[in-house]
Each structure stands twice: as C-alpha cells, then as structure tokens.
Structure 1
Amino acid sequence: MKFFPFWLMIQTAFVFSPVKAQELPLFNGKDLTGWHADVPERDENPDIGPSFIVRDGMLVSLGRPLGHLISDRVYQNYRITSEYRFPGETGNCGILVHASTPRSLYDMFPKSIEVQMMHENAGDFWCIVEDIKVDNMVERRGPKEDWGITEGKNRRILNLTDGSENPPGEWNRMIIECFEDKIKVWINGDLVNEGYQSTATRGQIAIQAEGAEVEFRELNLEQISGLSENPE
C-alpha cells in the first residue's frame, strides 16, 4: 500500500473540494423587504395602485402600472433561480440583470441586460444601454448595421430553442447565471441562451411589470465562483 504525507492529503482535499454556492436572500415570501419599485406613472399620480404585491407567499407582478421592482443590493457573480407562471392571459415580463441607472431607455427601463420571459420568447436577451455578444450574432440579432443599445436600434438577441416553455398556466423554471462577463440562461433544464463580453458585470436585479400578471413562487439568488454546465 502506498502512503502519502498527511500535509499532501490535506492540500489535495482542499484543492479538489467543490466550492458551495453562498445563498443570499432575494425574496422572503412575506413582503417586499430588500426591494423598491420604480413606476414612472407614480410621479404624476402618487395614489396609483401597486405594480407588485405579495400574495399567498408569492411575489406577483401585476403587469400595470408599468415599471420595475429593483433590488436594493448590488450583486456580482450570481445565479438566479425562479419559478414563474402567467396565471391568466400570457404577455410580457422579464428579469433584468446587472441593472444600474434607472429610466435609461424610453424613460422607463433601467440600464441592464434583460432576460425575456414573454411567452414563447423566454430566454431572449434585450440590450438596455448595455450590450452582450453571442455566437451567430447576425442570425440571431439581424443586420449588424441595425444593432444598438438605445431607442430605435435592434436590441433583441433571439434565444437558441423553441418549445422549452411549458403550456400557459403551468410553472416554468428559469435559471440565470452571471459570471464575470458571461450570462447563461436555462428554461426547464434547456440551455436557451449564452452570451459573453457583457458590458456590465455587476448591478441590481429588476423584475418587470410590463402588461401581464406573473406569479413567482420561487425567486432565489446564490453567489457563485464559476460557471455550470447545468446547475440543476
């Protein structure tokens, strides 16, 4: 039998032991502690109803008034796991990562990279005064001369798959992984988008109210130390 020095065994165990992700609170299931809403319509009508509520332990985007629920904290190198559904008519919503300056686009959207949740388009990237690259950019974003990150430019980058979403009314599981300048997105276990050279690598998290009611029964964030092949 071959023996190894004790110090070498300890060193080897240290090098090859997996690093556990650090879980951080994002939504506590009770109230909107840790978040603040930015709803432009409220500037003129402060008595307007809420865009975001907590109902039956779920975070709910009511869809209107239009706006964003923004985390108070800034995050870097993180993984968001969400389970969401459209309880009624499907429509538009999104999770924005690396969010910063509010109302940077159309006096509404914070500077960020949006991960689309609109039914049948979940996983698309939308560039909001930030940018990101993907493979097959022309095929997925259109003619290069139309690309841009501000009003009137082609800011949408199509996802990689069709059919990854569950039927309307059913729950979907979306995982967004942001590490250094890369962003990866899974829908129900399928890798649906992967970008790199993001112009932002840290920022707040934002949830949209963009016309349709969306329920989130899970919304967790983990601090990570590297990219995953499949985090599930």
Structure 2
Amino acid sequence: MKNPIILFTLSILVSCSSQNSKSLFNGKDLTGWHIDVPKMDSIPDARNPFIVRDGMLVSLGTPQGHIITDDVYKDFRLEVEYRFAGQPGNCGVLVFASTPRSLYKMFPKSIEVQMMHENAGDFWCIVEDITTDNMLERRGPKSEWGITEGKKRRILNLTDGSEKPLGEWNSMSIECLNNELKVWVNGDLVNHGYNATANKGQIALQAEGAEVEFRKVVLTPISQLTE
C-alpha cells in the first residue's frame, strides 16, 4: 500500500509546479510575441509566416524569420511540443536572444536549439558561444570555430535517434540555468552546454522553410522547480 503522506506531498509539488508554469502561447492569438521577418519590411503584402490554427501556434516556414517573446527570461525550463505538419525540414528554438538580425541580417543574437528533422538538439552559436564536452569531435577543427558568418557554429547533439516518426508529436525540454544549457528530446538528454556567453534573453521560434505546429510552449522558472 502506498504511503498516503508521500502521495499527498507529490500532489502538492505537482500542483505548485503547474501553478507557477506559464504558457507563452494562449491558444488564440500571438499576444506576448512580436514578429521579425525581414521580407515583411520591403514587401507590404508578404504573408506573416506565424499564425494560429486549431489552437496551435504554426510556423508556415516562409518567408523566413522569427517570432520573439516580448519578455526576457532567465533561469527557466522551456517545454515545447511540436511536429512537422507536412514535409520534414528545418526550424529551431532560440534562447538567450537579444540583438535582432545579428547574423545574415536575419538571426537574432542567441543560442539556437535545433529542431531540424533528424538533428534535434544540435546547438548553433549565433553571435553567442557555448562550450560542450568533446568539442573537437562535435564542432570540428578549433581553428574554424566562430560565432559569425562562415565559421563553424554548429555543435552536434549527443544522439540523432530520439525523434519520433514524422507526423508524431515530439517533446523538447530546454533548461537554462545561469550559463548552462541542457536539452532533452522525448526524455533523452541530447545536449549539454556550459560557459555560455549569455545567461538571459528572449525566446524565439523560427520560420526556416518547413511548416511546424506547436501545441505547447510552456515556461517554468527554475526556482519553482526546486522549491
């Protein structure tokens, strides 16, 4: 027979965690976010690639750009549930985002957590940097490392076998604490970085060629997870 005191304590912890978690997407509109799509600057009738459909936040993939939170966040766990709606392709979650259009006049200064099909969990350094174990193996020759155009900015994940088949929902958890970043895909730890050159910033989702549906974008402060 299970201890009723333990069960009661666990229920309180779960309740507190859920009460302190914040959905960054309200299921109805894009309140709390702003759009940064360069093509929309010069083409008045360019479509907004970020829409709400059937209660989901959808990145249509084109024109390319980002949807960025209005608020800045520090020390949090972000839980995202996503799937490619049609053909597999590219997308990503950017954390520690700050200066817009810092790379290729498109990408905000940030660390990208890759969602590209079969590469989920890779890090991409976007005018910010981060360290991982086995850097030479996972990033390439040190002389070619960098955080700007033409440099080796990609740090391979720990496993490419954690994604679910196309059409199924994937869960991605991103934990940012001080200058450390951990990523899980469907429960597997797929990357761990530290000594990041930023420790706070906005959060952004990409439009980068493929249609992606998001049914969950929930943030929980780390302090609430440990209390």
User: What's 1:187 paired with?
Assistant: 185
What is the 5 A alignment of 1:1-232? 21=17, 22-225=20-223
More helix by share: 2
Distance in 2 (alpha carbons) for counterparts of 1:227 and 1:91? 33
Aligned residues: 212
Query: Which 4+ residue blocks in structure 1 deviate beyond 6 angstroms?
Result: none
Higher alpha-carbon Rg: 1
TM-score of the superposed pair, with normalisation by structure 2? 0.90
Distance in 2 (alpha carbons) for counterparts of 1:178 and 1:226? 13
Show CA shifts across 1:36-91 (max 9, x none): 00000011112211110000000000000100000000000011101100010000
Show CA shifts across 1:12-50 (max 9, x none): xxxxx9795532231111100000000000111122111
Show CA shifts across 1:161-212 (max 9, x none): 1210001111100000000010000000000000000001000000000000
* Aligned CA-pair RMSD: 1.6
Distance in 1 (alpha carbons) for counterparts of 2:89 and 2:183? 20
Structure 1 residue 226: deviation in Å?
8.5
Distance in 2 (alpha carbons) for counterparts of 1:160 and 1:114? 16
User: What's 1:14 paired with?
Assistant: none
Unaligned runs of 5+ in 1: 1-16
TM-score of the superposed pair, with normalisation by structure 1? 0.88
Worse-superposed segment, 74-83 or 41-50: 41-50
Q: 1:177–1:227: 8 Å Cα contact kept in structure 2?
A: no
> Aligned AA for 2:181?
I
